[in-house]
C-alpha cells in the first residue's frame, strides 16, 4: 500500500517527518507535488488545516481515505495535532476503517462543482442585495433579498454556515442545510432537508458561486442546480467526531 502526502505551504517540515515515519512503519509513501495525481494513492495524509483538505478534495472525484494532521486554526476535518500523529496515524492505518461523507454537486453554466462543506452563491457587487429564490424539489420555499445563500452539507454546518444562523448538525446525519447570508427580511429560517432533495437557486444579478471557499465561478446565468453527488469524500474513521466538534467550536476565539 502506498500513501501520498499533501501539505500546506508552511508545513513542509512536518510532511517530511511523516514521510519518514510512514516508511519506518513499512508503508510506501511519497510527497505529492501534483495534486491531480492524488487519486492514485491508497491513502492520503494531509498536513494542513481544513482549508488544505478542502482544496485537495477539489482535485479528487474518486477519493482515497484521508488522514489529516492539523497545522491550521480549527481543523474540524483533521484527525490529530502534529505532536500526536505517530500513534494516531499508525493506529488508523492498522485498522484501516474509513467513513465517508456526502458531497454536493452543483451545476453552474454546464460546469460542475463538487463540495464537501458548501456551495455559496454570493452577490458579485459588495453591499448590493440580490434577489434569490430557493426551490426544494421544485417547491418554492423562499424568496429573499440578501447578500447570498449557502447550500451546505451536515459537515459544512460547522464551516461557513456556522456564521449565518444555521444549526450544528450531527456529522452522521446526512442532510442538506440551506441558509441565507444577511437576509433583508424580518422572517426567515434555516432549512435542513433530506439528502435526496434537489435544490434550485435562482437569482437576478451577477453572483460568485464558491465551492468550499476554493473554486469560484462568476455567473449571471440562473439557475444553479444542487444535489447530492455520487462522489463521496472518504476519511479514516474518527470515533469521537461529535465530541471533537464540541471542543473545537468552543475554542473559536
Residues labelled catalytic: 50
Q: Does residue 205 bind its own copies (CB under 8 A)?
A: no
Q: What is the DSSP letter of 84?
A: G
Q: Compute and round to an integer the Cα radius of gyration of the chain.
A: 19
Residue 210 within binding range of its own copies, rule CB under 8 A: yes
Nearer to its own copies, 26 or 187 (CB): 187
Pick one of 26, 186, 230, 239: the residue that binds its own copies (CB under 8 A): 186
Contacting residue, 16, 31, 98, 182, with its own copies by CB under 8 A: 182
Chain positions 118 to 137 lying near its own copies, rule: CB under 8 A, are 120, 122, 124, 126-128, 136-137
Q: Which is nearer to its own copies, 17 or 174 (CB)?
A: 174
Question: Which SS3 state, helix, strand or coil, does residue 202 take?
Answer: strand
**Interface characters, 137-176, with its own copies (x: CB under 8 A):** x-xxxxx-xxx------x--x--x-xxxxxxxxx-xx-x-
Q: What does the alpha-carbon distance between residue 199 and residue 134 come to, in Å, rounded to a whole number? A: 7
Nearer to its own copies, 78 or 164 (CB): 164
**DSSP per-residue codes, 22-83:** HHHTT-EEEE-SSGGGGGGSSEEEEEE-HHHHHHHHTT-SS---EEEEE-SS--TT-SB-GG
> Contacts with its own copies: how many residues (CB under 8 A)?
60
| 48/52 Cα distance (integer angstroms) | 5
Place of cell 462568476: 218
Give whole-number Cα distances, 243 to 53, 67, 94, 227, 247, in Å: 20, 18, 23, 29, 6
- Is 217 a binding residue for its own copies by CB under 8 A? The answer is no
Query: Minimum Å distance from CB 230 to its own copies?
Result: 20
The residue count of the chain comes to 253
Binding site for its own copies (CB under 8 A): 120, 122, 124, 126-128, 136-137, 139-143, 145-147, 154, 157, 160, 162-170, 172-173, 175, 177, 179, 181-194, 197, 208, 210, 213, 216, 240, 242-243, 246, 249-250, 252-253
Amino acid at each position: 500500500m502506498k500513501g501520498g502526502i499533501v501539505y500546506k505551504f508552511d508545513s513542509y517540515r512536518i510532511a517530511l517527518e511523516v514521510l519518514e515515519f510512514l516508511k519506518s512503519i513499512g508503508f510506501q509513501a511519497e510527497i505529492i507535488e501534483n495534486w491531480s495525481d492524488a487519486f492514485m494513492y491508497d491513502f492520503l495524509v494531509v498536513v494542513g488545516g481544513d482549508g488544505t483538505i478542502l482544496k485537495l478534495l477539489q482535485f479528487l472525484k474518486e477519493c482515497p481515505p484521508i488522514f489529516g494532521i492539523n497545522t491550521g486554526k480549527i481543523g474540524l476535518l483533521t484527525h490529530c495535532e502534529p505532536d500526536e500523529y505517530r500513534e494516531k496515524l499508525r493506529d488508523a492505518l492498522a485498522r484501516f476503517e474509513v467513513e465517508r461523507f456526502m458531497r454536493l454537486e452543483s451545476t453552474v453554466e454546464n460546469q460542475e462543482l463538487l463540495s464537501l462543506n458548501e456551495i455559496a452563491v454570493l452577490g458579485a457587487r459588495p453591499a448590493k442585495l440580490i434577489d434569490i429564490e430557493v426551490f426544494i424539489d421544485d417547491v418554492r420555499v423562499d424568496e429573499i433579498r440578501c447578500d447570498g445563500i449557502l447550500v451546505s452539507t451536515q459537515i459544512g454546518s460547522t464551516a461557513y454556515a456556522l456564521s449565518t444562523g444555521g444549526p450544528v448538525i450531527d456529522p452522521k446525519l446526512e442532510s442538506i442545510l440551506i441558509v441565507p447570508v444577511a437576509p433583508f427580511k424580518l422572517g426567515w429560517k434555516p432549512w435542513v432537508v433530506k439528502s435526496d432533495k434537489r435544490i434550485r437557486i435562482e437569482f437576478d444579478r451577477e453572483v460568485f458561486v464558491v465551492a468550499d471557499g476554493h473554486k469560484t465561478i462568476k455567473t449571471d446565468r440562473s439557475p444553479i442546480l444542487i444535489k447530492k453527488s455520487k462522489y463521496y469524500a472518504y476519511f479514516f474513521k474518527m470515533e469521537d467526531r461529535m465530541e471533537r466538534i464540541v471542543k473545537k467550536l468552543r475554542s473559536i476565539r
